[in-house]
Amino acid sequence: MVNHTYPRRQSPTERQLGFLRRDFVTVFGLAALGLPLLEACGSASGRPAKAADDGGATVGAQPRVRASQAASPGRGVQRTSFPITAVGITWTGSPRGVRLRFIDRKGQPGAWQAVGAGCPCGKDPAPGTVRTKSATPPNRALVPAQGSYGYQLDVDFGVEVIEAIAIDAGSGSKYRPSPSKSAAAKTPDASGTAPAFPPSGVVLRADWGADEAKRFTADGSESSPTRFTEAQMVTVHHTATPMDDPDPAATIRAIYEQHAVSNEWGDIGYHFLIDSRGTIYEGRFSGTDGIPAHNARDEVVTGFHTFGFNPGNIGIALLGDFSKEKPTSRMHGSLVELTASLAARHKLDPLTDITYTSPTSGKSTGGPALGGHRDWTSTECPGSAAYLDLSAVRERTAHLAR
């Protein structure tokens, strides 16, 4: 493993001061070019890797992730000194009110493209703040950049861009899917018994290249310390990223960067992610015992995936955009295996509605024990095609988990 030393992420106050410094430099140093200077905050470290056993290979050193936070998101051309994997954007106003064009290495802009709002996942408000199903979180998107060196945003009237971050997710993660042997051929229904948790072959954080330093502030304190509560339900999302992703681990690192650093949640919001090949990835950090999402008392760590309904809610994100296209059979099979193992472990009935009670606010709300993000929040997530597919997921989960 190659160890790099990079600055830890800054506290909000430090970042504010950083923006002021950058704005000063921008105004007095780069005004002639009209190019704001961007913050580089990449880092690379992590706990010891554990080999995936689902047919993937472990290769290379820990990937180096670099990111540039826009000092003035939504305004001007944002350029980077490194090739971008993706641009993460958070905005309020119309979900269809943002357009983006990439800038190549020579400074030439490409064509404008519409930015579609993805999963508006989010960290719960502080205890005592009341949330309802009608509350609308900000829009979020992660747009693949394919090696550009900058971007520019254009927004409709009434749209405000809160955060914009250019990410180089790096390469060479320890996990690489193998074309010959994949997690694919899982047929969980065949056994007739509930799959064990965790399912075999879950790619742990160290293997997809999670830089654990990003969970800490500059003073060494954990940004979002783990909190554990009894599991009450499972919620399915999609990432609204490209289908048949050639490097799912890199996309997950980009999501981690956006969630942990740009959105300041201190970690990736989902408990699990599943790619089109059916490989399951560990999401939110829950300890170093190798059991994803749980503590030793079988409680689940609180994630940041369903704004206002996070404690006790296990979030599973499907990698891709399932607005029109259904999940692949491999992805569907792994989702069923995972939800059945969770339903059996926590005695959840996937065919029923529950009364979810927030352990922090005490507020109760009705919804499905196994549902989609849109069951809890005003959003398209997990996409209409994946949402329709959930009825089959529930049936198969119930068959296995009983």
Q: Least distance in Å: CB of 238 to Zn ion? A: 7
Give the HSE-up count for residue 86: Cα atoms under 13 Å, Cβ half-sphere: 28
Q: Which stretch binds Zn ion (CB under 5 A): 19-27, 82-90, 168-176, 235-243?
A: 235-243
Q: Least distance in Å: CB of 118 to Zn ion? A: 8
Q: Least distance in Å: CB of 324 to Zn ion? A: 17
Q: Among 66, 214, 237, 271, which residue sits at the site for Zn ion (rule: CB under 5 A)?
A: 237
**Nearest to Zn ion of 237, 396 (CB atom):** 237
Q: Is the dihedral of CA 9, 11, 14, 18 positive or negative?
A: positive
Q: Least distance in Å: CB of 372 to Zn ion? A: 8
Q: Least distance in Å: CB of 125 to Zn ion? A: 17
Q: Least distance in Å: CB of 121 to Zn ion? A: 5
- Taking a C-beta distance cutoff of 8 angstroms, is the pair 88, 109 a contact? no
Please provide the size of the chain in residues.
402
- Using CB under 5 A, count the residues that bind Zn ion: 4
CA 54 to chain centre: 22
**Nearest to Zn ion of 224, 379 (CB atom):** 379
Q: Among 165, 335, 381, 401, which residue sits at the site for Zn ion (rule: CB under 5 A)?
A: 381
Q: Which of 242, 185, 237, 181 is nearest to 52 (CA)?
A: 181
Compute the distance between CA of residue 115 and CA of residue 154 in angstroms, rounded to an integer: 10
**Nearest to Zn ion of 66, 373 (CB atom):** 373
**Nearest to Zn ion of 119, 300 (CB atom):** 119
Q: Among 119, 206, 318, 400, which residue sits at the site for Zn ion (rule: CB under 5 A)?
A: 119
Q: Least distance in Å: CB of 32 to Zn ion? A: 43
Q: Least distance in Å: CB of 356 to Zn ion? A: 16
CA 95 to chain centre: 18
Tokens of 96: 């269809």
**Nearest to Zn ion of 145, 381 (CB atom):** 381
Compute the distance between CA of residue 54 and CA of residue 208 in angstroms, rounded to an integer: 14
Q: Which stretch binds Zn ion (CB under 5 A): 119-127, 193-201, 266-274, 336-344?
A: 119-127
Residue 355, burial from CB neighbour count under 10 angstroms (0-12, 13-18, 19+): exposed
Q: Which stretch binds Zn ion (CB under 5 A): 35-43, 113-121, 350-358, 383-391?
A: 113-121
Task: Please report whether residue 319 would count as binding Zn ion according to CB under 5 A.
Answer: no
* One character per residue 359-378, x = contact with Zn ion (rule: CB under 5 A): --------------x-----
**Nearest to Zn ion of 49, 386 (CB atom):** 386
> Which residues are at the interface with Zn ion (CB under 5 A)?
119, 237, 373, 381
